[in-house]
Structure 1
């Protein structure tokens, strides 16, 4: 492992998107990057699908074997507010990253420039404002598959940072053991997890992954409420059934030993700040290095088709 900068100042942004409005989501993201930069943050992390929000509880009119016109209209509204990558929105975020002199990770609903397919995508920007990685979610979870397609490229991109290799898996991708190993093989020290997963079991999962990979696990969830959905949806009865707080958050950072660097934050918007001690990474791998001395490549091998 190459030498790492000893400290990394991180800002984990647990915030509510402006649901189904890509312009206002982008404006809010830029404002939050500017706010985090006041604390000299070097890495700023946003949740899954911050642009234009996670449509929790919506069916878009799909049932097995059929769909309806009102649901199709709501899907079109979400489609219209998904973004091209690169595009106007990524230019704005890149400019904000450059002004903040920080790496930025943000989740978006990506609209394919050729087809009408959407992808659940996470983006990394460099402190120079460049879009440096585009990671599409390998397998949307459950009913997400009626909204977003399977990744067809950009399976496990990583960024080489002053603190080592940084990669991301989106939400339940982290339940895929081989996907985790694909990142471990690349030597990641910063495991970015944009997600919409506020259950207790998830906290157990992320602590396990941090100690399994002996890396920092940056868990970035969103907080949003039922009254944040647009008023002009064609299927409002679906939203009426939801609890007042739709997603509670739970964002936190776990260190390479599986301990909370920052405790989970619940039921509010917040920016979580931490200074990570990167010296913990090589020290934690003294007796367990998952793809190094504790591996058996003569017995076990993962082949990744990238």
Structure 2
């Protein structure tokens, strides 16, 4: 049995891309592994928001996790900020990480450039130290596998480097070295309007992504207006046909079918049929999730489930933090 963890930030809505790339793989794994899932509200502070909006997004994200099918008997679901060991270990890891390592992180370079492209905007320190908090999220629980998209692998590499450095200094039994778990077929869902980019909840174009809380009819319209090409040939070719390939990937993931089988299914059919059938499976997913979500969000039942997860996560992380403090001299 492996220990596995994942967290999704609340910097926007949870998208279909998040579901296929992170949530669904976890659902497939929870029966045979020890699972941890957290709402990464501390990571969300990198993007400014007002308190009322942040609380709402935390509540929505929590309810969606359970609505997607996570079983609290098998998966420990908790809110990151409610387990203080995360920030305590993050500071310790900061002190064992160099500025050079953090400034070379691709996401830091990309996001800081966008935030201050003309040099007049300030870049928050949290954007630089984000990876050490992520490393703390992982190392606190002696995690074996971390489901990640292709753009997150660098974070796992940094986590392993920090853990190895501290193991060498304080004892090889201090940290478990995590490995990334990537589903090569469904790890990356692309933007519906610009399929050369990853689907992102931070996009300014609402048509470019599907939220798990989008009304099914809205999601259908977004799929119907998604960018394809003029060839009208349904073929899986991410380089030359990124839009069509993205729709095939979505269908493949939600139907649990191989890419080759999906392509055979659509052989001889046009893009209208492809979009219609992709929309059907997406809308079915959204309807199921939203029915469960609406019965759970804002209720005492949800708070009780999160309190149960917080208690278990706190017990495990405090025990680990105590060991770390003893090893490093605190």
TM-score category of the 2 structures, normalised to the smaller one:
0.3 to 0.5
- Give TM-score, length-normalised by structure 2: 0.31
Query: What is the TM-score with the length of structure 1 in the denominator?
Result: 0.32
More helix by share: 2
